[in-house]
Amino acid sequence: MTPSRRDMLIGTASLALAAAGLAASPAGALAAAPFDAAAWRRYADRFLQPDGRIVDTGNKGVSHSEGQGYGMLLAVAGGDRAAFDRMWSWTQRTLMVRGDGLVAWRWTPDGGVTDRNNASDGDMLIAWALLRAAELWKTEGYRTAALAIVKALETGLLAEHGGLTVLLPGRDGFRKGETLVLNPSYWIFPAIRAFAALPGGERWGKVTDSGLVLLSKARFGGFQLPPDWMALDAAGTVTVAEGFRKQYGYDAVRVPLYLAWDGYRDPYYFRPYADLVAKFGGSAVPATVSLPGGTTTQVAASVGMLAVYRLACRLAGAGDMVTVPPLAPDEDYYSTTLFHLSALAAQSLGIDP
């Protein structure tokens, strides 16, 4: 994770599926170990503090709602209830200070909560982790807490605009007159599916449908990639958002990950990423691409980003074009998280990592 990704917000406030015609990949084809209890312990040893705080090692040691949500999801996958409870307790007492059921998104070691605005993806990840924990450990309290967050999101962050039901990235700062600023990577499709299955969750089904429409419109440049940040006007037109870096990069790389994790297999959704890989080779993919111009950064995609591309290429029918090296001992929080989430998504699809 780069500081610029989260700096954009400062002050602005899975089902296991049958192969269905796609044979399982050969052993090692995704160059990622399956995520299991041992992988979780290694993750926790590096990023989980004793008090329950997940540390973003690539961003000056801050913590944020997204990190807490990812950590809680991985703890459920690793079967570690004690760690899950520590993370949830820290989140409740430290970040849930807004009074509206949503989570303040940013905490710093020297300043505590430095931005009380929420980040909707963090709220969603926490709620989804709580639902998964409730199912695994048969604890109604987790489910009750999840329902409260989902309700707060529905009340404060879902909006009807341009004929679509969309998710605002935060409670404050993303309405620009008749235009909404949106983040396509905040469409965490498997979480949205889980919310839609809750009593009264029909509106979340519309969020899924609208997300797919937005992704069909948000294809820019020669590679037809989604931007990290996009704008939706009242007529339903999608453009690359003003006031943000006009690029595909650290945020939008999660779009194919979340689609795969929710069981999407149509190559249409994954070809843009395979085309990007094909252009630059499996080990030299750039971290960002300007939109619509197509200028690429000299910074290479991280190991975690390469793991996402490996999965996307497989689903695009492009084979195993990406070489994913092992995680380095000092691999940062965001790259490591993407690496493990890609493994979980592959497992949910029945693909042997």
Q: DSSP states of 93-120 as a string?
A: III--SSSS--EEEEETTTEEEEEEE-H
- CA pair distance 250, 241, nearest whole angstrom: 16
CA torsion, ordered 140, 198, 190, 90, to nearest 10 deg = -40
When computed from its CA atoms, the radius of gyration of the chain, rounded to whole angstroms, is 19
Q: How many CA within 13 A on the CB side of residue 161?
A: 23
Per-residue tokens: 353? 């990592």
The reply to whether 121 belongs to the active site is yes
Region of 350 please: left (phi>0), alpha (psi -120 to 50) or beta. Answer: left
Is residue 247 helix, strand or coil? Answer: strand
Is residue 190 helix, strand or coil? Answer: helix
Residue 203 makes CB contacts below 8 A (sequence gap 6+) with 154, 158, 165
Q: How many CA within 13 A on the CB side of residue 208?
A: 18
> Residue 311: what residue type?
L
Which of 121, 123, 251, 332 does the annotation list as catalytic? Answer: 121
Beta bridge partners of 62: 56
Q: Which residues are catalytic?
A: 121
